[in-house]
Amino acid sequence: MSQRVTRRSLLEHGGKAAAGMAALGAALGGCAGSSGPQRLATAVPRRPLGANEKINVAFIGCGGIAKYNLKHFMESEQINVIALCDVDRSHLEEVAQIVKNTSGETPKIEKDYRRVIDMNGIDAVVISTPDHWHAIPMIAAAAAGKDVYVEKPCCHNIKEGRAMVDAARKYNIVCQVGTHQRSAMHMQEAIEYLRSGKLGTISMTETYTYGNEAPDGMGHEPDGPVPEGVDYDMWLGPAPLRPFNKRHFHFWFRWYFDYAAGMVGDWNVHLQDITMLALETDHPFAVSTSGGKLILTDDRDTPDTMLATYEFKPGPYTPKGHVHLYTMRKASGPPWSRGGYGMVFHGTNGKLHMTRKDWEVIPDAKDWAKPEGGFRTEGFKKEGVDNHFEHVKNFLACMRSRQKPVATIEEHFKTVTACHLANVSLRAGRKIYWDHEKELCFKDAEKSIPDPLANRFLGREYRKGYELPKV
């Protein structure tokens, strides 16, 4: 066992980190003023973790979901919170106070993620930034030999996700994605039921998210001054430079393609992850999306109405393939907090409906003309709990065992690719055919005619100084 790294030694080292920043910046190729992506720094030897040894963790991003993650990481009683990082000073100070009130220790605070990654003795980082800031620090942390818990969706675009998968493999890290529904026991039970064959042969799955924000959505706000204590240039990072507007900033960032993927990436990534996990689904073969911004008058550029149709080839539990539908509305129906979301599996014996609170089997009659003749399977409903805490504990356990976590970056990449392809189809204005081996879109089922317009949306143009590191 290596010598224990103490909080004091880590904080003392943090004061020296600035001396190595220029070299680190050049290595990462993702810092302001750099000349572009270069080779990543060599990882330091990983510290062995004993069964009862505290894990040293840093949190990059300190907004709403970060506080939720922090709560459960600290409740595990398995970690030391060594450092916090955010470009908003108010977030840093609030979360630092939470840590101090809970543990009695004051973590080091930084606005630059590179300083945190450069600290010796950090075993893992938790990345809870906006979507457009997931990939760059994840790849840098992996190259530095640190395990990563990264929020969903793991990437802003498909090419970023590929780079993240490659980094996790190359540097042999444990990487858990925050699709915590995988750790809910009732969802695991429902998946076991589906795989048992009791629902019959499945030919269609559905996910849906509803809500009613008509007519103004998040409202309107003029551009204004950058709030005091915010490094707005770094917040934008790889995204295009634009004036500050609070409707593009905290929370609302998810409704703009510059920073996120709208509802299909924000919420459907949770739901479709379960449908694809349950059926051991591979990548979609074809995607066709309809919709757009049809109702809301705010300035979001992601859709308020969407219907995405996925075609999947045969799999272990779908012998002739299946169709998946994602339906999203922002201007009709109850919000998720009132039941406006769910996952549905349609089989020859009935359907299974699942939420974070329960799962239910609704059987088909053997003959709907004579329903008194009985049903094709047994109907029932079971309660459940959305267990984020178990997801966190799974990650920490896998850090010790070096086993794969419940939500690996490799598995998540399949789900997030499907979600991004819904937007790719919508923005290209046509049905697309996906070649997951080449990771390219085509115009035809034979995949002989590339689709240059659709392929433009697989990645992004990075602002100078914030390029994606090369793995």
Model confidence at 12: pLDDT above 70: no
**pLDDT value at residue 187:** 98
**pLDDT value at residue 199:** 98
Predicted confidence (pLDDT) per residue in 426-440, tens digit: 999 999 999 999 999
Model confidence at 4: pLDDT above 60: no
Cα gap 310→432, rounded to integer Å: 10
Direct distance between the N- and C-terminal alpha carbons of the chain, in angstroms, rounded to an integer: 30
Kind and range of the H or E element at 350?
A: strand 350-354
Q: What length does the chain have?
A: 471
Mean pLDDT for the stretch of residues 294-314: 98
**pLDDT value at residue 45:** 75
Model confidence at 85: pLDDT above 80: yes
Mean pLDDT for the stretch of residues 318-339: 96
Work out the mean pLDDT of the chain and round it to a whole number: 92
Q: What is the pTM of this model?
A: 0.91
Query: Nearest-CA neighbor of 158 among 435, 407, 421, 464?
Result: 421
* Residue with tokens 């040894």, as numbered in its chain: 53
**pLDDT value at residue 194:** 97
Model confidence at 20: pLDDT above 80: no
**pLDDT value at residue 51:** 82
Opening angle at CA 391, ends 329 and 271, nearest 5: 20
Predicted confidence (pLDDT) per residue in 204-231, tens digit: 999 999 999 999 999 999 999 999 999 9
Cα gap 393→77, rounded to integer Å: 10
What number of CA atoms fall less than 13 Å from residue 269's CA on the CB side? 30
Domains, the chain: 7-179+405-409 (3.40.50.720), 183-387+413-456 (3.30.360.10)
Query: Nearest-CA neighbor of 139 among 470, 462, 465, 458?
Result: 470
3-state helix, strand, coil in the chain (%, to 5): 35, 20, 45
Answer whether 251's CB lies under 8 Å from 61's CB: no
- Joined together, the tokens standing for residue 240 give 């295009």
**pLDDT value at residue 48:** 82
134 pLDDT tier (thresholds 50, 70, 90) = very high
Q: Omega of the bond prior to 153 within 30 degrees of 0, cis?
A: yes
Answer whether 279's CB lies under 8 Å from 265's CB: no
Mean pLDDT for the stretch of residues 121-147: 97
Opening angle at CA 23, ends 17 and 28, nearest 5: 100
Cα gap 326→312, rounded to integer Å: 14
Q: What is the 3-state secondary structure (H, E, C) of 7-69?
A: HHHHHHHHHHHHHHHHHHHHHHCCCCCCCCCCECCCCCCCCCCCCCCCEEEEEECCCHHHHHH
Cα gap 46→146, rounded to integer Å: 8
Pairing mode of beta strands 202-209, 211-212: unpaired
Cα gap 91→61, rounded to integer Å: 8
Model confidence at 380: pLDDT above 80: yes
Sheet of strand 202-209, all strands in order from the earlier edge strand to the far edge: 380-383, 358-363, 350-354, 341-347, 202-209, 322-329, 305-312, 286-292, 432-435, 440-442
Mean pLDDT for the stretch of residues 404-411: 98
User: What residues contact residue 196 under an 8 Å CB cut-off, 6+ apart?
Assistant: none
Predicted confidence (pLDDT) per residue in 29-63, tens digit: 334 434 344 446 566 678 888 888 999 999 999 99
Model confidence at 22: pLDDT above 80: no
Kind and range of the H or E element at 115?
A: helix 113-117
